[in-house]
Structure 1
Amino acid sequence: MKKSLLALAALSVFAGVAHAQSSVTLYGIIDEDVNITTNSGGKHLYNLSSGAMQGTRWGVRGTEDLGGGLKAIFVLENGFDPTTGKLGQGGLEFGRQAYVGLSSQFGTVTLGRQYDSVVDYVGPLEAGDQWGGYISAHPGDVDNFNNSYRTNNTVKYTSANYGGLTLGGTYSFGGVAGNFSQNQIWSLGAGYTNGPLVLGVGYLNARTPSSPNGLFGNGTTATGTLPVTTPVYAGFQSANTYQVIGTGGAYTFGAATIGATYSNIKFMDLGSNGASAFQRGDTATFNNAEINFRYQLTPALLLGTAFDYTKGSEVAEANGKSNAGAKYYQFSAGADYFLSKRTDLYLIGVYQKASGTDSTNHSAVAAITNLAPSANDRQFTARVGIRLKF
């Protein structure tokens, strides 16, 4: 009897240790706001929406200690709209992230639906990922800094931290029999943090992005419909390759932080993936530059402002004429007041002006990210919202 009791006690101890070495955490964000948009297809719009500051979500993350510094990890993250209760990301159950992998002192390898390296290393340096939300993202989120598109079927590596330097990369299988390159996506990136200085660089390459299961296609929705509606680049969906090169940096001095980002975006080999209004084989190029500034006025109050400039290149039309390209000027400002560590109130305003000829071969109209395009070259939106984290 004593031996049995001792054995039972020993098993209980080991079970307790195993439980202590594993963890599962439920987390989330609920973000809801009241909006005014001065020109939504030609009319003023007043409405409720979700996720102006951060996408509303709930998720589960877990780790299991396998010994010897090796851990198994997983994340399942759902996006939803509290305004209506419907699922986000086109109706996908875990449309934000869904992956499993292993982590050690040599780095982390994960498999599933994940973020690319541009999102990981450069995205956090733009105003939209800080205090400005998706409406402060670059027009149409043309460089994906604000994570409009996730990658499916992805193998991802993230290095350990080497004196402030981290490296990473992703590879997404196209999954098409007999065609290795169709829908293929890959990215590389690096980040460096040293005291007040933060730097990031990233590269993203997506083949046949608008085809089924491509980056712009039903790889990001449940219905299979193409989500690209912004006139900023909707006319370039016939491209064979979508490429982004991005870099950025930020420096903090006292309560102030100044930052900047730059991206070069190419829609390459137009006409290779569907009909095009432009000459087959041409490339449409965008260059984007942002400068942003934030100031922690008090421990509870953060202020921010940013200016973004996007310039599209000339593209030859199918009739031989030249499309002069579009230009977008965007100003953002915001204030974020923290009621507690988990709950804050915010105000964001964005103004955009457009000129030139856009990707649809029409006079460019203002098109703030994720809003219905304006009927003319100007658009303003303001958001007042509340965000709660748990």
Structure 2
Amino acid sequence: MKLGKTFIGALALAVGGPVFAQSSVTLYGLLDEGINYANNVQTAQAGAPHGRTGASQFSMTSGVMQASRWGLRGTEDLGGGYGAIFVIENGFDVGTGRIQQGGTFFGRQSYVGVTSPWGNITAGRQYDSIVDSIGPMQAGSFAGGAFADHPGDIDNVADTQRINNSVKYTSPTFGGVTLTGLYSFGGTPGSFGKNSIWSLGARYVLGPLALAGGYMHVNNPNQSFYGNNTNSSPTANNLGAVAGVQVNPIYGGFASAHRLQIYSGVAQYTIGSLTAGVGYSNIRFQELNDPASGTLSLTNPFGYTGNAAFNNYNVYAGYYITPALEAGLSYNYLRGGAINGKDSAAYQTINAVIDYFLSKRTDVYFAAAYMKASGVDSTRQAAVPYIVTMTPSNTSNQVVARVAIRHKF
């Protein structure tokens, strides 16, 4: 008798229990792999000037048009227009299988949040507001991916860096306007602002016209911004080597900045199969020689003090010759870095791409770029080209070309 009552009670609970909300989890990804040629890249050589020489190079690399990745994206309907969302996304090199983003497993994105009629709030490792607002409207999206990025991705428009420990708000679109704001907690005891980051962004779309702008304020960027990956160092220069074979000669010598500020804007117009745009960014490495940046002999080996600023200008266009064939072209001009009697440097880049879509998910492309550098870079040496994803040149000119395949799933 007791057993029967127990069974009937359990059945009643099962029938009258809550109805669970609908949810879904999607596995997605992208693989971009190809063969590159560069006419000159830095190569270590003992006894050579600056400890290096230059040579042409053929190589196989991953992620130029778009970075290779896989991820999981989930949603749950909470009712009343509310929902739960999450994204975890890993970046990897197709040719070697290695994890990207400095060894951080979910280094591209890792966040959880809530959607509502009033906007989305998310928390975790995320893109900043410049990336969210301007990223879809920058040259790399139309003219060859990383080869068309601003030199060294100096303004992070192409999302080279992510933001840890951040909370972000993204508004609904009202009258064509979408707003976003992010704050990253520095987590330093006794100092709310140290190592913190905040950014704001806005985009406006009216028919064929799109406008976007963004601002980012980074405290102690060598640690909070460039040094937030698994393999980063609390003492070294996280922008990369500035001696021997360099990693980022354009601004690697400014790692000791107390503050980094970036202002960026873009205007874009679409006419039929043609999309064209113009962009501008101002980048400021401020109050150099900050001891909190790390070991100053590494973060500031040239003894800089004061501020170093850059201005970046670019124009780009993408055109669908047929629904399956797209061509893109861009020009970029970056100038700045004068400080403490050191002259500025200038970098001019021309990039072109032809992209043929075999299907909605698979395409093959050919991209090529030419960069010319002049002046004196952040390492107090004659400026050399640095095209994103490539090793810097050892001369004032660099030509790169790539043929590749991209598949999305």
TM-score tier (shorter): over 0.9
Partner of residue 293 from structure 1, selected from 298, 317, 323? 317
Amino acid at match of 1:286: F
**Distance of 2:258 and 2:310 partners within structure 1:** 16
Partner of residue 112 from structure 1, selected from 124, 131, 137? 124
Partner of residue 222 from structure 1, selected from 231, 248, 259? 231
**Distance of 1:227 and 1:324 partners within structure 2:** 21
Kindly indicate whether residue 382 of structure 2 is the aligned counterpart of residue 363 of structure 1: yes
**Distance of 1:182 and 1:362 partners within structure 2:** 32
TM-score, normalization: structure 2? 0.88
Give the corresponding residue for 1:46: 58
The percentage of aligned residue pairs carrying the same residue is 47
Give the corresponding residue for 1:373: 392
Give the corresponding residue for 1:260: 278
Kindly indicate whether residue 308 of structure 2 is the aligned counterpart of residue 284 of structure 1: yes
Amino acid at match of 2:96: T
Amino acid at match of 2:35: V
Kindly indicate whether residue 84 of structure 2 is the aligned counterpart of residue 66 of structure 1: no
1:175 shift after superposition: 1.1
Is 1:271–1:278's contact at 8 Å kept on the other side of the alignment?
Answer: no
The unaligned stretches of length 5 or more in structure 1 are 317-321
Amino acid at match of 1:329: Q
1:264-316, Cα deviation, whole Å (9 max, x unpaired): 00000011133536665411000000000111100000000000000114211
Give the direction of change, closer, same or farther, for the CA distance of 1:149–1:178 in structure 2 (3 Å limit). Answer: same
Amino acid at match of 1:375: N
1:73-121, Cα deviation, whole Å (9 max, x unpaired): 1000011111001111111110000000111010000000000011111
1:199 shift after superposition: 1.0
1:183 is paired with a residue whose SS is: coil
Amino acid at match of 1:267: F
Is 1:31–1:388's contact at 8 Å kept on the other side of the alignment?
Answer: yes
Partner of residue 332 from structure 1, selected from 351, 372, 385? 351
How many residues of Structure 1 are paired with residues of Structure 2 in the alignment? 377
Kindly indicate whether residue 201 of structure 2 is the aligned counterpart of residue 193 of structure 1: no
Partner of residue 141 from structure 1, selected from 153, 163, 179? 153
**Distance of 1:176 and 1:26 partners within structure 2:** 36
**Distance of 1:196 and 1:4 partners within structure 2:** 62
1:199-237, Cα deviation, whole Å (9 max, x unpaired): 1100011111113xx1011x1343536243310000111
Give the direction of change, closer, same or farther, for the CA distance of 1:44–1:281 in structure 2 (3 Å limit). Answer: closer
Give the corresponding residue for 2:50: none
Give the corresponding residue for 2:47: none
1:367 shift after superposition: 1.4
2:112 is paired with a residue whose SS is: strand
1:383 is paired with a residue whose SS is: strand
Q: CA RMSD in A?
A: 2.0
Partner of residue 144 from structure 2, selected from 122, 127, 132? 132
Give the corresponding residue for 2:404: 385
Is 1:287–1:310's contact at 8 Å kept on the other side of the alignment?
Answer: yes
**Distance of 1:130 and 1:111 partners within structure 2:** 30
2:257 is paired with a residue whose SS is: coil
Give the corresponding residue for 1:319: none
**Distance of 1:227 and 1:237 partners within structure 2:** 7
